[in-house]
Chain A
Amino acid sequence: EAQVTQNPRYLITVTGKKLTVTCSQNMNHEYMSWYRQDPGLGLRQIYYSMNVEVTDKGDVPEGYKVSRKEKRNFPLILESPSPNQTSLYFCASSPREESNTEAFFGQGTRLTVV
């Protein structure tokens, strides 16, 4: 089954404790991205990757890091989480060579930083 898998689905952590949210897709998609969703603000892009070893900042990259060592994986790293990073996070992937194609989303990670 074609899918994007995020883990964990729910996470409560304390300020400053490094964490990683994993994202994996099995569709051989080149393009992957991370979003955060906050009430009234919609989905805002954090980082995106157009291919292996190619990553770039989105609209709200501060406080986040990513890596793309393999095509299927695109982890999101919070080196020192803060309460303002409490949010719902989504990973997405899509084929890069066609612009008019569907983006597939993971099920989301609800992060609370206390």
Chain B
Amino acid sequence: RKEVEQDPGPFNVPEGATVAFNCTYSNSASQSFFWYRQDCRKEPKLLMSVYSSGNEDGRFTAQLNRASQYISLLIRDSKLSDSATYLCVVNFNDMRFGAGTRLTVKP
């Protein structure tokens, strides 16, 4: 079993749609959690950290469920500029990346 598993995607959604990604992790002692965004052929960049109580940043909401060992990312009112690959990242001593979920937002 992979340490970090994500929805395989790809997700193709119209502008304005709400889309959710899930990610599961295997190490119950994992300490911190993140979502990164990666545009085509570019470096990953931090989108948001994920806190136990859940957190929101504008149209983006991240949640953590330690008991079930999964994290989620919700994007509301999708924009064309949200098209990218979203990487789930779990940190226990070092960072473990999911394979990524590709999102394409269409007009």
Which residues of chain A have a CB within 8 Å of any CB of chain B?
31, 33, 35, 40-45, 48, 58, 88, 90, 92, 94, 99-100, 102-103, 105-108, 110
Contacts and interface: CB of A to CB of B under 8 A. Distances in A.
Contacts of B97: 35, 42-44
A99 B98 contact: no
Nearest to B99: A42
Interface residues of B, number: 19
B49 interface: yes
B101 to A, nearest CB: 10
A110 B43 CA distance: 11
A90 B44 contact: yes
A2 B46 CA distance: 14
Nearest to A105: B43
A42 B31 contact: no
A101 B45 CA distance: 12
Nearest to A38: B99
Interface majority SS (helix, strand, loop, mixed), chain A: strand
B37 to A, nearest CB: 11
30 contacts: A31-B94, A33-B94, A33-B95, A41-B99, A42-B98, A42-B99, A42-B100, A43-B44, A43-B87, A43-B97, A58-B94, A90-B44, A92-B95, A94-B95, A99-B32, A99-B91, A100-B31, A100-B49, A100-B91, A102-B46, A102-B49, A103-B89, A103-B95, A105-B43, A105-B44, A105-B45, A107-B43, A108-B41, A108-B42, A108-B43
A35 B87 CA distance: 14
Given A40-B99, A42-B99, A99-B31, A48 B46 contact: no
